[in-house]
Amino acid sequence: MNNFQRLEEEQARLYDASRRRDVQENLSQTFGLFKFIGQIVDVYLPAMIGVLVSAAGGKGPDGRNQGLNRPPSEGGEHPGKVGPHPPNGDAPRR
């Protein structure tokens, strides 16, 4: 084997190693991007669906209307009934 053939084999080996490293880095970056997008979808998609259901007047998972505050004439709760409640065992002062 002459020097040119050795040089050719060495260049082929180095090219394969550098090309493989580039491909692995690109795949790693792509998977990282997909993971990031997946995390964003995982966090925001359920909340966005809940907002859309509420805006459409749907009911939440517990069967209550979780939408916008609707007036009592439309079946919403009276504003005086919705608000902070005292801790258990405490009587409200009047």
Q: Please give the distance of CA 61 from its chain centroid, rounded to a whole number.
A: 20
Task: Please report the pLDDT score of residue 28 as a whole number.
Answer: 95
Hunting for tokens 């504003």 — which residue is that?
Answer: 79
- As separate numbers, helices (DSSP H) first and strands (DSSP E) second, the chain gives 1, 0
Q: Where are the domains of the chain?
A: 3-74
Between residues 83 and 14, the one the model is more confident about: 14
Is pLDDT above 80 for 86? no
Model confidence, pTM: 0.43
Taking only the tens place, the pLDDT of each residue in 19-73 is: 888 889 999 999 999 999 999 999 999 888 888 888 887 776 656 555 455 655 6
Q: Quick one: pLDDT at residue 39?
A: 94
